[in-house]
Chain A
Amino acid sequence: MTLLASPAVRMGISISIATGLYGVSFGALSVTSGLNFWQTMALSMLLFSGGSQFAFIGVVAGGGSGIAAMSAATLLGMRNGIYGMQLNALLRPTGWRKYAAAQVTIDESTATSTGQTDPAEQRRGFWAAGIGIYVLWNLFTAVGALAGSALGDPKQWGLDGAAVAAFLGLLWPRLKGREPVAIAVVCAVATVLAVPVVPAGVPILVAAVVAAVIGWFSHGRSDEGLEPDVDPYRERHRHGGHGGQPGGSGQGGADHAAGSGTGAAE
């Protein structure tokens, strides 16, 4: 019960519920993309990174090959390596905890942890969000997968529209300011140009290369695009009277603070 007195643990639990719930949409979309129940569960249990999981099934749904799906998911997972580095410096896990921490290193657990200032709270926040999301995400993936396979014709239910909305929903929190919007537009245009000329799935990889080149040669926030899908500290600050700067990721803690005052898209 004393654990529940910790603000970081409470934050971790609420973020777990918010994130876990949308595992339903992943599960349903995955089985309607052509994956079976256990393939869907393998992605949630083993891959466990929302954006990469949606990317994998998004490529498969579009008729892309397995290798293209794997490539898109893997490129999208690169940011987890950056989070791992931050968390390793912050929490200094040892022994088997390092391997366990790695598996639950995702946008939301990182954001929950780095949003705290006290080292003990950083540790509690990370584990509460990481384990909580892992359990609920897998549970709700299973629910979604079972419901999805009972739906019949996915198009009749607009599930292809649900996939579109899911990707826009994942992109949206990262469009803070003019620059990320410009990157998104350039990559969208590159995708449209690539679709008719290369096999399905490959346009996504073309866009990844374009984005990487932009990132390599331009100078901007080094944490651009590294915002969580569900910002754990957004709610609190929305109610906290920061009316002028709602939901800026600058509230997200030291690692998210740099230069995020330009929340134009907010």
Chain B
Amino acid sequence: MNLWFWLLVACAAAYAWKLVGYFVPARLLENPRMSRVAGTMTIGLLASLTIVNTLANGQVLAADARLGALAAAGIALALRAPFLVVVLAGAGTAALLRILGWN
């Protein structure tokens, strides 16, 4: 139930952000600094989410099959593979490494 609560708060907040752009006078938001913070924060958050999902087990850092998934995804992206192929490369590599005994 707690998760539902925060999930719905996140939904409301997401819609609020979107709506703000349509209702706040452009002058107030036409600040290059705000656009820049929105952009750098997007990069920072996605980089952080990538690392957390690769290395973290709760509060413990671990090197496991997910590192292989990261490498495989990087190679797929460098080869300009579509998003879905990148995701499948990550899953396949992690699964394969586990079969080979690297957890």
Contacts and interface: CB of A to CB of B under 8 A. Distances in A.
Contacts of B72: 161, 165
A221 B56 CA distance: 32
Interface residues of B, number: 78
Residue of B34, B39, B89, B96 with highest tally of chain A CB at under 10 A: B39
Given A24-B84, A196-B61, A225-B38, A66 B3 contact: yes
Nearest to A226: B39
B43 to A, nearest CB: 4
Given A39-B3, A88-B22, A161 B39 contact: no
Contacts of B55: 192, 195
Interface residues of A, number: 111
A45 to B, nearest CB: 9
Contacts of B73: 164-165, 168-169
Interface stretch (A1-9, A112-120, A121-129, A204-212): A204-212
Nearest to B93: A161
Interface in A163-202: 163-172, 174-175, 180, 183-188, 190-192, 195-200
A85 B20 CA distance: 8
B38 A165 contact: no
Residue of B15, B65, B72 with highest tally of chain A CB at under 10 A: B15
Given A55-B49, A183-B43, A187-B43, A80 B18 contact: yes
Contacts of B50: 164, 167-168, 171, 188
Contacts of B68: 161
A156 B92 CA distance: 10
A49 interface: yes
A191 B95 contact: no
A160 B31 CA distance: 39
Contact of A158 (B45, B51, B90): B90
A interface, by DSSP: helix, strand, loop or mixed? helix
B29 A81 contact: yes
A204 B14 CA distance: 18
Contacts of A191: 47-48, 51-52
A258 B52 CA distance: 32
A253 to B, nearest CB: 15
A187 B40 CA distance: 10
A219 to B, nearest CB: 8
B66 A160 contact: yes
A156 B48 contact: no
A40 to B, nearest CB: 10
Contacts of B19: 84, 99, 102
A63 interface: yes
Given A39-B4, A82-B38, A214 B44 contact: yes
A266 B19 CA distance: 33
A48 B48 contact: no
Contacts of B35: 82, 222-223, 226
Given A70-B13, A164-B90, A183-B43, A89 B69 contact: no
Contacts of B66: 160-161, 164
Interface of A: 18, 21-22, 24-25, 35, 39, 42-43, 46-49, 51-52, 54-56, 58-63, 65-67, 69-70, 72-89, 93, 98-99, 101-103, 105, 155-172, 174-175, 180, 183-188, 190-192, 195-200, 203-204, 206-208, 210-212, 214-216, 218, 220-226, 229-230
